[in-house]
Amino acid sequence: MQSTIEGRTGHHVVVIGAGAVGCASAIEALRRGWRVTLLEPGEPGGEQATSYGNAGWLSSHSVIPPALPGAWRKVPAWLLDPLGPLALRWRHLPRALPWLLRYLASGWTEERVQRTADALRLMLADSPVLHARLAADAGVPGLIEHRGLLHVYRSRAEFESESLAWRVRARTGVQWTEWDAARLAAEEPDLDRRYTLGIHVAEAGHCRHPGAYVAALARHAQATGARLVKALATGLQIEGGRLRAVRTTAGDIACDAAVISAGARSAALARAAGSPVPLESERGYHVMLEGAVPVGPRTPMMAADGKLIVHAMVPGLRAAGQVEIAGLVAEPDWRRAEILRRHLVSMFPALGDGAAGEALVVRHWLGHRPSLPDGLPCIGHARATPDVVLAFGHGHVGLGGSARTGQWVAELLGRAERPAALAPFDPARFG
């Protein structure tokens, strides 16, 4: 029998998970007058958190789901190449197969891709502005910048091979500017000259230190009234269709509502709330060259040939990418991080020159993107009770989408109905 560590009073919400989504949800709930407990077993923004290690993009144009028409043809390569940009470990395949089939079906036609993109655009369109406000409120305005993001290609043909994605983006309202080889060389003098075309999306922004940013949001939530409890959520006490408490390793926390925003570890809690969802970890890696790196991108960029993002951050130069379907407990394959390092050096050859390259401190990291097979997060009420709000499964856009998600979560708290705009994200879509 667990002890109760807090008596039940009105308008108290427990936010499970102090990542980007959880912190934004806590801040928005506080603004609406809720008493908030943030529940997090680790340090907010720490290395264990997915928010810590992402690429730092606030990409309002990241509206394309992972699977596109014809993706099924690539499955054999995913299984046979353990070091490809997307890899499936054989041992995890039986468990991941239902997720994979839904994943492929979600991008089967351009029409399905467009529906997903329209929904994601609603969540992401103003993310740089929303994050700039959050950062200012949290006392770290310098961590958010709004000067665009860059996609680089080796040729016009390579860009046109992604024409479906850019066509879909254009229909959602995304605009961009093309940089020819001369302008690309002028804007990015350290970039290897094999890249001859740049696509600059001016509306997008970036975060200069995701871990520090999330930590600042957690501190801001606490400064404005939230209580941080260092414990792990283990279950929910639901009686008569109403939430009574969140069960934790530190005892039960009595409350009126809860938000499940525990990233890739949210599935068991969602199931306890009557909403089973096909959540999978898209394991992502990064490599970090720490310190004052002498060369690199002036604008955060994605290289089409390596499927990686390169971003000069406060702690150093980060290259992030890779998708590995292997579950939550499999050991890291650090060869995948080494691939990122090698591609980074090929993009910026001066990184490998003599003493400058040898002096750099290189660190590897692995995190778990919480991904649902249709490319959309779950944002809505749990089936067992409207007192529980689900807010997870953002995949590759968790940081960017967190600010708007936090606002939506605050709208859902304390009400049984769902705003019409959130229909595409309804957890009930999985039956």
Give the domain CATH number at 397. Answer: 3.50.50.60
| pLDDT tens over the chain, length 431 residues | 344 434 334 599 999 999 999 999 999 999 999 999 999 999 999 999 998 999 999 999 999 998 899 988 888 888 888 888 888 999 999 999 999 999 999 999 999 999 999 999 999 999 999 999 999 999 999 999 999 999 999 999 999 999 999 999 999 999 999 999 999 999 999 999 999 999 999 999 999 999 999 999 999 999 999 999 999 999 999 999 999 999 999 999 999 999 999 999 999 999 999 999 999 999 999 999 998 888 999 999 999 999 999 999 999 999 999 899 999 999 999 999 999 999 999 999 999 875 455 567 899 999 999 999 999 999 999 999 999 999 999 999 999 999 999 999 999 998 888 899 999 999 999 97
Among candidate residues 219, 256, 329, 298, the one with its CA nearest the CA of residue 13: 256
Closest CA to 220 of 11, 90, 38: 38
- Calculate the dihedral angle through the C-alpha atoms of 300, 304, 306, 308, rounding to the nearest 10 degrees: 30
Q: 269: number of CA atoms within 13 Å, CB side?
A: 28
**Do residues 154 and 162 lie in contact, with contact meaning Cβ atoms separated by under 8 Å?**
no
Q: Structural domain tally of the chain? A: 1
Q: Is residue 357 part of a domain?
A: no
Does residue 316 belong to any structural domain of this protein? no
* C-alpha distance from residue 88 to each of 73, 80, 93, 193, 280 (Å): 14, 8, 7, 33, 12
Closest by CA position to 426, among listed 387, 388, 377, 385:
377
Task: Tell me which DSSP letter residue 396 carries.
Answer: G
300 in a structural domain: no
Q: Which domain holds residue 431?
A: 1-69+114-143+203-276+374-431
215 within some domain: yes
